[in-house]
Structure 1
Amino acid sequence: MTDDDYYFGIDVGTASVRAGLFSPGGRMVARAVHPITVHDLSGSRAEQSSEEIWQAVAASVREAHANAGNPPVAGIAFDATCSLVLRDRADAPLDLGGGRDIILWYDHRAREEAAACTATGHDLLQTVGGVMSPEMQSPKLMWVKRHRPDLWSRLGGAYDLSEWLAHRATGQGARSLNPLVAKWGWLARAGGLQPDFLEAVGLEDMAARAGIGADIVPPGVAIGGLDEAAARDLGLAPDTPVAAGLVDAFAGALAMLGGLAPEAQGRTAALVAGTSSCIMTLTSEPWRARGVWGPYADAILPGLFVNDGGQSATGALLDDVLGRSPGLSHDEAQRLVAEGLARDGAAFGAEIDILPDVNGNRTPFADPDLGAVVSGLTLDRSRAGTARLYWRSAVGIALGLRQILAHLRQAGQPVEVLNVTGGHARSPLLMQLLADATGCTLNTARDVDGVLLGAAIAAAAPGRGLAEAAREMQPDWQVYRPDPAMRDQLARDYAVFERMQDHRSVIRALKR
């Protein structure tokens, strides 16, 4: 590593690819974004195309590299959503339909399969909050085997998206420990995949079909260099080192927590707030709570345990609200909200209350079948009316986060500080709301996308180690502190929030 070396972090989110070029000290010198298509289908299904994603990766890397003046690149790494990529025996896309070979992370088609996993009572359920989520890879693969045996018979490889991107870039078969631990039921300190669990759910052939062998490497370890074809696509030099990457939220947690001193463990959590939101801790001792994924041993840094509580749809809910007023952007909606708050104070939108569980509830209830509840909705689809609904949706999201933090504290995690990254972190309005609702101090990374930074830290790790790279590439922080003037109003909102949850439970019971 020299001062002239640069590192690419490449983040594949739900709807776009972002490529960021970073200096050895963690300064982002260029960034490019390209959209990708999301196909939302009936039956709680959502799919994408890996080939389209690779093209967007190539375009993003080329643009960012050119914007920085095409400096030498010493390494790259990928992070991505925990979407499932399916390939056939010739390593071509295994077509689910319409040329799509990816089951998206938030796809819930495998609810019955997830319930069957939970019904096994296997010990590995203790690492997923006691309940298997349909967002994990085992239920998704069960669904393929049960409902698309024509595809299962041709399956030659199944990857978490970040793994597939590294495979596409290098042609190598090494798998990253991070997604295997986080999404595949791999117990890092208990032999890896659990054969008795897989046999119990009819997936005894999963490892062979998915191509999971003995070559498993921790994040930040080089798995190979860019092959000739990938180098041409990306506009980089052949043999540029590619490091094992991470699931996107874990990359954010690496950037937000990886450089902290040990005494901050438990007191500081990472909040990765985007399409969904994840609240993540990195601790030296394992802990468990219902609805909290983990403890995941060694999933980010060796010797440490990761836990992940969260909300399945946050930015996705705000996106949906904007659809009531076509053409209204997040920035414009937030400007209208700020004007309304300045004019009306706490009365702005106060007639609306929302439980934001549009894609189920991960934490604390671990129930993928829960839905959102809205009180006070009208037919006002004007820009001003949409801004009121937008604000109260954001309040509902913030109150959900408050509830999750209370749940973590009951489990012994005294969280007082949130280091925040993701799309929401760019909004001072949303960050102040989260500080006010939770009572936590919030730190956001200045002038850098924290998830991209996490991928860049992994890219820089082969030369200096992942923990050292995380310490040396720490961002500068923008600090938000709770406003005491908002405490009473948000306490009343939270009391309504909990009462609405009680009412929802009563209604569900009456309908059974």
Structure 2
Amino acid sequence: MITLGLDLGTSGVKALLLDGDATLATATAPLSVQRPQPGWSEQDPEDWWRATERCLDELAATHPRALAAVRGIGLSGQMHGATLLDAGHAVLRPCILWNDARSGAQCAELEAPTLNLRRLTGNPAMAGFTAPKLLWVREHEPEVFSRIARVLLPKAWLRWKLSGEFVEDMSDASGTLWLDVAERRWSPLLLAACGLSEAQMPRLVEGTEPTGQLRAEWVQRWGFDQAPVMAGGAGDNAAGAVGVGAVHAGDAFVSLGTSGVLWATTAGFAPAASHGVHAFCHALPGLWHQMGVQLSAAASLAWWARTTGVNEARLLDELDHADPGPAPCWFLPYLNGDRTPHNDSAVRGGFLQLSADTERTDMTQAVLEGVAFAFRDARDALATAGTELHEADLLGGGARSARWSQVLADVLGLPLHQIEGGEHGCALGAARLARAAAGGGSTFDKPRRLRSFEPGRERAALYDEAHGRWQALYGMARQVATPLQTIPSAMPA
């Protein structure tokens, strides 16, 4: 059975054709992020649709027979984004993204003891989540708020464009702060706290459930033999988990994408909100997971490449001739704030301990290590929740770097495994969920391991000591952090 996975990411849309467990073809289309004010991060949903069209147009041109034979479509998407629609289904304002920090002040409202937020959702209120974004809109854009008929996450909006259905899966809904995560249902109490109701929310499903079919106009446009079934799909990290076969309690992976995620699958709801650990539903029935999250993982290297004017591949190639770490300088990867363990939307990153002898390779190495140290913080936060990791798979574009993968293994003290298709993990997982929804079976095997990175004893000891000193830098950065200004946006035309 051939299925199609669509991954709506922050930096682009990816489409993947899957036949069984063999990838037939992929197509990608880039996206950009608008930052109208410091700490803000937005995208126009129409850009998502145009990127999706480009991907499907490419597959229709290069693999028409395979695309025509698709029987199921699964969606993966960037989480937490607030996509607001009016009664006529028009988008009211640009989507406020997961890495937008403007709503930090609104989080205190959601932490009111009467709401039992952490007990119901398993998570602290963080500016990146959807609920505080709606409180910000209610306060600063009341005319927009008064017209809201639907609140959708990014992939739910894309699903509506494709199928006409307002549906969301449990894993993505977990990142709104409106889901009772243990019971896998919307919480009327938490919705009401934001001035919303269930009528404005999409219908909830599991990731393997069928949710309708592709609209007839798109069936005709792209030449499908019949209308493919639309699967519930998953938030990006849960889709990645399905893609790498992290579907049993104890399975773990490290995602080195725009953001960074340390994932552990759990058999039950296991919150540890006081340490910034996310406890969400998995995309599969009867499963949950924990995550430690950093907001700027591979994004840190991308920022460094833009700043230096040297592309990422060359920066990494230069390290082939440089001494291994630890670097002689430090980097804090808090370019968009931090989630785990600090839950701090205002803190910012930077370099420290630079000297007249510091070279570009030193600073590149420090970027890799700073991201790895933040993953170490996440590993320690999961340990406080009783989750001990023994090994993990690697996925995301950053995981293609052997140098970075080895640094991560040394810093985390864990064997890490590069896997086949790891760079396609989210789209692959979406296609696998589509196969289950279309009746093709729900077995999610682990991909073939291509290479393993064992922590080196001497390097791990050096990094263990270095991490202890690096942790002290957060307190310094916090002291000089500038509170984000809450400035209303211009009203949309």
Q: Same-fold call, TM > 0.5?
A: yes
Quick one: distance in 2 between partners of 1:459 and 1:402? 34
Q: CA deviation at 1:374?
A: 2.2
- Residue 75 of structure 2 aligns with an amino acid whose one-letter code is F
- Residue 352 of structure 1 aligns with an amino acid whose one-letter code is C
Quick one: distance in 2 between partners of 1:397 and 1:189? 31
Quick one: distance in 2 between partners of 1:127 and 1:358? 30
- Residue 218 of structure 1 aligns with an amino acid whose one-letter code is E
- Residue 316 of structure 2 aligns with an amino acid whose one-letter code is Q
Among candidates 72, 83, 86, match of residue 84 of structure 2: 86
- Counterparts in 2 of 1:79 and 1:398: CA distance versus 1, 3 Å: same
Quick one: distance in 1 between partners of 2:269 and 2:463? 32
8 Å CA contact 1:291, 1:362 repeated in 2: no
| Structure 2 match to 1:281 | 264
- Counterparts in 2 of 1:232 and 1:40: CA distance versus 1, 3 Å: farther
| Structure 1 match to 2:454 | 481
The alignment partner of 1:73 has SS state of coil
Quick one: distance in 1 between partners of 2:321 and 2:405? 17
Among candidates 169, 179, 182, match of residue 162 of structure 2: 169
Q: CA deviation at 1:392?
A: 0.5
| Structure 2 match to 1:207 | 198
| Structure 1 match to 2:293 | 310
The C-alpha deviation readout for 1:248-300, integer Å capped at 9, x for no partner, is 1111122224455xxxx33x312222010111211113323223444334x32
- Residue 80 of structure 1 aligns with an amino acid whose one-letter code is G
The C-alpha deviation readout for 1:83-108, integer Å capped at 9, x for no partner, is 222222111221x3xxxx31111111
- Counterparts in 2 of 1:277 and 1:346: CA distance versus 1, 3 Å: closer
Matched-pair identity in % = 24
The C-alpha deviation readout for 1:149-193, integer Å capped at 9, x for no partner, is 121222222211111111111112333232222324211544733
Q: CA deviation at 1:313?
A: 1.1
Among candidates 313, 318, 333, match of residue 331 of structure 1: 313
Quick one: distance in 1 between partners of 2:226 and 2:373? 49
Quick one: distance in 1 between partners of 2:120 and 2:410? 31
Q: Note if 1:399 corresponds to 2:373.
A: yes
Quick one: distance in 2 between partners of 1:53 and 1:295? 28
8 Å CA contact 2:275, 2:381 repeated in 1: no
8 Å CA contact 1:15, 1:37 repeated in 2: yes
Quick one: distance in 2 between partners of 1:134 and 1:502? 20
- Counterparts in 2 of 1:329 and 1:70: CA distance versus 1, 3 Å: farther
Q: CA deviation at 1:65?
A: 4.5
Kindly report which structure 2 residues correspond to 1:152-191, keeping only aligned pairs within 5 A, or say none: 152-190=145-183
Q: CA deviation at 1:113?
A: 1.2
8 Å CA contact 2:39, 2:101 repeated in 1: yes
Quick one: distance in 2 between partners of 1:41 and 1:191? 36
Q: Note if 1:376 corresponds to 2:353.
A: yes
- Residue 169 of structure 2 aligns with an amino acid whose one-letter code is S
8 Å CA contact 2:130, 2:175 repeated in 1: no
Q: CA deviation at 1:230?
A: 2.8
- Counterparts in 2 of 1:65 and 1:416: CA distance versus 1, 3 Å: farther
- Residue 494 of structure 1 aligns with an amino acid whose one-letter code is H
8 Å CA contact 1:163, 1:244 repeated in 2: no
- Residue 453 of structure 2 aligns with an amino acid whose one-letter code is Y
Q: Note if 1:456 corresponds to 2:444.
A: no
| Structure 1 match to 2:232 | 244
Kindly report which structure 2 residues correspond to 1:8-407, keeping only aligned pairs within 5 A, or say none: 8-24=4-20, 26-71=21-66, 72-82=69-79, 83-94=81-92, 96=93, 101-120=94-113, 122-126=115-119, 131-190=124-183, 192-199=185-192, 201=193, 203-208=194-199, 210-212=200-202, 215-260=203-248, 265-266=249-250, 268-289=251-272, 290-297=274-281, 299-326=282-309, 328-341=310-323, 345-346=324-325, 350-377=327-354, 385-407=359-381
- Counterparts in 2 of 1:221 and 1:229: CA distance versus 1, 3 Å: same
Structure 1 residues not aligned, in runs of 5+? none
Quick one: distance in 1 between partners of 2:344 and 2:36? 21
Quick one: distance in 2 between partners of 1:236 and 1:252? 26
Q: CA deviation at 1:506?
A: 6.3
The alignment partner of 1:279 has SS state of strand
8 Å CA contact 1:226, 1:237 repeated in 2: no
Among candidates 376, 381, 388, match of residue 414 of structure 1: 388
Quick one: distance in 2 between partners of 1:375 and 1:433? 19
Select between 171-180 and 142-151 the one with higher mean Cα deviation. Answer: 171-180
Q: CA deviation at 1:139?
A: 0.8
| Structure 1 match to 2:413 | 439
Quick one: distance in 1 between partners of 2:418 and 2:259? 17
Quick one: distance in 1 between partners of 2:147 and 2:478? 43
Q: Give the TM-score of the pair, scaled to structure 2.
A: 0.89
- Counterparts in 2 of 1:294 and 1:356: CA distance versus 1, 3 Å: closer
8 Å CA contact 1:225, 1:238 repeated in 2: no
Q: CA deviation at 1:120?
A: 4.1
8 Å CA contact 2:185, 2:204 repeated in 1: no
Quick one: distance in 1 between partners of 2:214 and 2:480? 56
8 Å CA contact 1:226, 1:238 repeated in 2: no
- Counterparts in 2 of 1:151 and 1:133: CA distance versus 1, 3 Å: same
- Counterparts in 2 of 1:129 and 1:368: CA distance versus 1, 3 Å: farther
RMSD of aligned residue pairs (Cα, Å): 2.5
- Counterparts in 2 of 1:189 and 1:130: CA distance versus 1, 3 Å: closer
Number of matched pairs: 476
- Residue 459 of structure 2 aligns with an amino acid whose one-letter code is M
8 Å CA contact 1:313, 1:357 repeated in 2: yes
- Residue 487 of structure 1 aligns with an amino acid whose one-letter code is A
- Residue 156 of structure 1 aligns with an amino acid whose one-letter code is A
Q: CA deviation at 1:233?
A: 4.9
- Counterparts in 2 of 1:50 and 1:237: CA distance versus 1, 3 Å: farther
Quick one: distance in 1 between partners of 2:46 and 2:372? 36
Q: Give the TM-score of the pair, scaled to structure 1.
A: 0.86
| Structure 1 match to 2:489 | none
Quick one: distance in 1 between partners of 2:278 and 2:470? 27
- Counterparts in 2 of 1:423 and 1:188: CA distance versus 1, 3 Å: same
| Structure 2 match to 1:7 | 3
8 Å CA contact 1:59, 1:234 repeated in 2: no
